[in-house]
Structure 1
Amino acid sequence: MPKATLGDIEFSVVSKENKNLKVNATEKPVEKGQDISDHVKKKPTILTLDGIIVGENAQINMEQLEKYQQEGEVLTYVGRNILDNVVIESFTEITDSSIANGFKFNMTIKQIRIAESQTVEIQQPVVKRQTKPVTNKGRQQPTETTGIDYIEAETDFIERLKSNNDPVPFLTPEQKAVKNIKEGNYIDVSAIDIYKSISG
């Protein structure tokens, strides 16, 4: 018959296994017809072992069991019962004259639940921004009315009056200056009128 093991440790003898199963049941009233299992929560399984470890590696095995306990190593026990994911909750070494090259032990191992975490990838929503199309109009020159434009407009006004054979009405000083410049009468044009006619 195969010997019982815990992790990498093989026990010489396991004389007793006490399996303890418990649940937590609700103390609140349960409605008639409701599933009772929804109000019962299973507790971790606890196994108590009595056994013996003997041989030239007995001291090494004992130290390894102590290390398992202190570091909380998660182990598998294989014996009359088989339990995965157990840790050593308590360990007692018993030495007496009946065992020359080993020791008796009493151990309690407890099954634990291991939760598995899952990674979920969350897609970021794509936000479309509405933008007006950009039209390249090239380099734009600012619009500015110059004195030359003013003179040309006034000259066109006077020419249209002459073409209709109508008498020239009362002219503003600026229009008069334009007319004098057009007809070559520079003597009658004051400096102010020339400046106004050019600068607009």
Structure 2
Amino acid sequence: MNWLSQSEEPATLRPQRSIGGVTFDVVVEEQHEDTLEITEHPVEHGANISDHAFMKPASVTIRAGVSDGSGSIAGEKAGVSVYEALQTLQKAREPFDIITGKRKYRNMLIETLSVLTDADSENALVVTADCREVIIVKTQTVSVPPRSRHRNAGKTGGTANKGQKQAKRQSILKAGIG
């Protein structure tokens, strides 16, 4: 039995929505985008062919708000401090995590920050953050066995600069009529 709700169901805590640890009073909208890129190659006759597909980096657009009535640093408006924190995240260019209502994103950067202030939003911050995943690769140094230990050492030798070579047209007769 869960002592908080007096029910048989276990209590679950959902992490608060945030961009790099920066939280908001309200998240108005989240737009998630996951795209599969399917390659296309033209052929002489017929439709283009596709021989490969890969996932593009994930992106998410978050529209959120903070009221200046929220708890803030002495004398500073909450909207200003949140906006400055988001600008600092963007300028740092260091990947961070984003927590949304649907999922957690890792290795994200803020691509665009947009703020519109009008008569209705003068005492609040309504910000739109376009964020995109950055793909980070890990490299390592490995040892390669000496050339003499290769299976076909004569054929797998190093490269040699033989200057520029001009492409030659191949005769249809030499290639064979297909």
Give the TM-score range, shorter chain.
Answer: 0.5 to 0.7
How far did 1:22 drift? 1.6
Tell me the equivalent position of 1:52. Answer: 65
Distance 1:38 1:75, change over 3 A: farther
1:46 deviates by: 1.1
**Counterpart in 2 of 1:120?**
142
Shift of 1:58: 2.6
| 1:86-165 correspondence to structure 2 within 5 Å | 86-99=108-121, 101-121=123-143
The letter of the residue matching 1:51 is A
1:61 equivalent to 2:82? Answer yes
User: RMSD value over aligned CA atoms?
Assistant: 2.6
- Within the alignment, does 1:13 sit opposite 2:34 as a pair? no
* Alignment coverage as a number of residue pairs: 120
Moved over 6 A (4+): none
Greater share of helix: 1
TM-score of the superposition, structure 1-length normalised? Answer: 0.52
- Whether the 8 Å contact between 2:36 and 2:55 is mirrored in structure 1 is yes
Q: Any idea what the Cα deviations from partners look like across 1:8-57, whole Å, max 9, x if unmatched? A: 21121111111112222121269xxxxx9961121111111111023323
Match status 1:24 vs 2:37: yes
Q: Percent of pairs identical after alignment? A: 26
Q: Distance in 1 between matches of 2:81 and 2:94?
A: 17
- Alignment check: 8 A CA contact 1:91 1:108 kept: yes
Deviations 1:89-128 (A, max 9, x none): 1001122333454210111110111101123245779xxx
Q: Is 1:41 equivalent to 2:70 in the alignment?
A: no
Q: Distance in 2 between matches of 1:6 and 1:37?
A: 37
Q: Secondary structure at the match of 2:65?
A: strand
Aligned-partner Cα distance in 2 for 1:100–1:46: 29
1:180-199 equivalences under 5 Å are: none
What are structure 2's unaligned runs of at least 5 residues? 1-13, 44-48, 73-77, 148-178
- The structure with the largest alpha-carbon Rg is 1
Indicate the residue corresponding to 2:98 in structure 1. Answer: 77
How far apart, in 2, do the equivalents of 1:96 and 1:27 lie? 46
Name whichever of 93-102 and 57-66 sits farther off: 93-102
* In structure 2, distance between residues paired with 1:8 and 1:69: 13
TM-score (norm 2): 0.58
Does the aligned pair in 2 maintain the 1:20–1:45 contact within 8 Å?
A: yes
